[in-house]
Amino acid sequence: MELVTQNSVERLTPKSHQRQPSIDAVAAEVKELLGEIWLPELYRSQVRPLRTRAYALHPVHKEAVEIQHTLLGIELKTGRYRTLCPDLATARYLAVWTRAGCASIAVPYDITQISRLADDLESAWHRMLLLVDHAAAERKSAFRLRVRAKLLSDLQHAIAEAGAGAAIPKFNQNTKQHT
């Protein structure tokens, strides 16, 4: 008579009966796969070291975030709110953080930096969504939505912890001329 071991039970048990990873485990796996392009990490390493100003957003729950080109310029439409943006790069930058549900973020003062940052943030955002779909491919869509909600909650907490900075940045006012 053969002894039943844990190893033999695992081999005989169909895959469908094995314990599936939890929401926290899948979210942690996605964060690990993202590594340096995890949005809070990009924010801490690329945005916060710059001279920035704080910007309050209108986070949305289920409504879409749209960038609209109007006669008055470029607007970021968030639910029922419309925010006039100076250029497309700023609208793209703000759209990523609005989709993430952040209440306030830091916007770089140097407009030449915003376009590159918007590219990086949009790429990281879409990669995060693709990794969630890949990591939970064999699970129901409700599970993927819960994993996404967990990641967004972690993201919002990390961004709030990093802070948005001052509403008005400090400028170097040294105007003395040495002769």
Cβ-based neighbours of 83, under 8 Å, separated by 6 or more = 58, 75, 76, 94
Instruction: Decide if 79 is inside a domain.
Output: yes
Structural domains in the chain (count):
1
Instruction: Decide if 177 is inside a domain.
Output: no
CA 114 – CA 88 distance, rounded (Å) = 10
For the segment 138-155, what is each residue's pLDDT rounded down to a tens digit? 888 899 999 999 999 999
- The closest alpha carbon to 23, from 115, 126, 142, belongs to 142
3-state secondary structure the chain: CCCCCHHHHHHHCCHHHCCCCCHHHHHHHHHHHHHHHCHHHHHHHHHCCCCEEEEECCCCCCCCEEEEEECCEEEEEECCEEEEECCHHHHHHHHHHHHCCCCEEEEECCHHHHHHHHHHHHHHHHHHHHHHHHHCCCCCHHHHHHHHHHHHHHHHHHHHHHCCCCCCCCCCCCCCCCC
Domain extent, residue 30, equals 20-162
With a cut of 70, which residues of the chain have pLDDT below it?
A: 1-19, 61-63, 167-179
Instruction: Decide if 172 is inside a domain.
Output: no
Instruction: Decide if 173 is inside a domain.
Output: no
What's the pLDDT score for residue 47?
93
What's the pLDDT score for residue 174?
63
What's the pLDDT score for residue 172?
63
Instruction: Decide if 158 is inside a domain.
Output: yes
Instruction: Decide if 99 is inside a domain.
Output: yes
**What is the amino acid identity at position 103?**
A
Contact between residue 94 and residue 81 where contact means Cβ atoms under 8 Å apart: no
Instruction: Decide if 95 is inside a domain.
Output: yes
CA 74 – CA 84 distance, rounded (Å) = 6
